[in-house]
Amino acid sequence: MFWKLFLSWSFVLATFAGTAQAQPNILLIYVDDLGYGDLGSYGHPVIQTPNIDALAADGMRFSSYYAPSAICSPSRAGLLTGRTPYRTGIKSWIPNNSGVYLRDHELTLAELLKESGYATGHIGKWHLNSDLGTDTEPQPRDQGFDYYYGHNAFQLPHNHNPTNLFRNETALPPQEGYTAELYAGEAIRWLDSVDDDRPFFLYLSMAEPHTSFANPPEFNRLYRQFTNGEIVPIVNGGSVPPKESLIPRGPGEYYANVTYMDAQIGRVLAWLDDNDHYDDTVVVFASDNGAVTSNWFNWWETNAYGSTGGLRGRKHLLYEGGIRVPAIIRYPQVVEAGVVNDTPIIGMDWFATLARLGGADIPTDRAIDGIDISPLFAGQALPDRTLFWAMFAAEDGVTEIEYVVRAGPWKLMLDVSGQPRELYNLETDALEFFDELDERPDVVEQLARKAQSILESIENDPLRPR
């Protein structure tokens, strides 16, 4: 076994030595609430996403990629630290002025790459503290980013003319335009400012298709047959819900929002082509959690019509529809174009993978839950492992399921006390229809032990906020 692993890794290293750039540029695109079935390349029959679909055609598309969490803040903590979100103390989305934030002792991907010589920029959603304007909580520039422009939790009053954007630590006046356009334009301006002799790491975290959204009229017209009545964007951020505007109008506005996002991402991808950075840039695209479907839990979700591709659940739930999302990587001459990979991977893996590609050392003084998935790029397999998720289920009383472990095809769901509640075989039951908890006590016992071991590791993590 040792020699098989040695020869496998030797092959991978030899492949990279002959093809990979010493320090490639890295563009990490993270979008907000995009469902597994919301792209043309993932099977949506209506939504037009030509730029992201072209990215998939030029790279590797993952069919079993999982977000670190079923909701935004923990997902972003896992993405940037490589650590299961509960280790960082971020269990759910962070409300304004709550005092919850990513601690400064956590090491982010931006910090590792900056130490390795990268120019680092973050454009878009942060949502890893409770106040972008305070000096008492770490800000993006405290956690490895040279430059920041964007918002925290969600855009106010919606995607059009946002009033809650910051540049670095400075609150900005209302910005004219739509967030997708503003973020793509700012990303291009920042890329233009980077010295030619430095590699760049750009974390582009789009606001779309998170509600409340608004779209340019020409994009709404693309899907007018799917919209009923006059389009009046729902205003968020007020003292009381705008009950008079909570009118279900069908999926047309949601479809338009995804297509508009795709068009603006296309501008950034075109910049790579126009500036001779197509071949020397690793592009990663992923969603932070599953879609808000038409099964709305909250008033501000009205008129979201995300697709899970038929998977059970939605954002906020640990069924497949809440955590299994689109993900793509393009790295010319290293990742074969047009490949679909069905290996289960998780968002924390980007931390280890992109750090290694950038020549950074993975920290050894803390638990890192993600792994380097680059063997997949050379057609190799990853080692068997257990995947783990946690979701602060008691927060809204939406579900009793708080923890999930997956090993091989088996997925065990447990409540807040660690009691097994549901068991699914994803190989034979990808839609999670058939609970096998009573039929397979052997699997339940094995996975429950794995869950307990992981929870003990989190509880005893010396870096976890107490």
Tens digit of pLDDT for each residue in 293-345?
Answer: 999 999 999 999 999 999 999 999 999 999 999 999 999 999 999 999 999 99
Tokens of 10: 């030797």
Angle between helices 72-81 and 349-357 (to 10 degrees): 30
- Read off the pLDDT of each residue in 30-56 and give the average, rounded to a whole number: 98
pLDDT in tens, 145-172: 999 999 999 999 999 999 999 999 999 9
- Tokens 């106010």 — which residue? 156
pLDDT at position 21 is: 65
Q: Calculate the alpha carbon distances from 111 to 234, 268, 355, 450 in Å.
A: 38, 23, 10, 31
Domain 12-385 shares a fold with domain 400-459: no
* This prediction's pTM: 0.95
Would you state the pLDDT for residue 66? 98
Give residues with Cβ within 8 angstroms of 411, minimum separation 6: 404, 405, 423, 424, 425, 426, 432
CATH 3.40.720.10 fits 12-385, yes or no: yes
- Spatial distance between the Cα atoms of 66 and 327, rounded to a whole number of angstroms: 9
303 Ramachandran zone, left/alpha/beta (phi>0; psi -120 to 50)? left
Q: Where are the domains of the chain?
A: 12-385, 400-459
The burial of 276, by beta-carbon neighbours within 10 Å (0-12 exposed, 13-18 middle, 19 or more buried), is given as: exposed
pLDDT of residue 1: 39
For the segment(s) 400-459, the CATH number from 2.30.40.10, 3.40.50.2000, 3.30.1120.10, 3.40.50.300 is: 3.30.1120.10
Strands 60-62 and 327-330: antiparallel
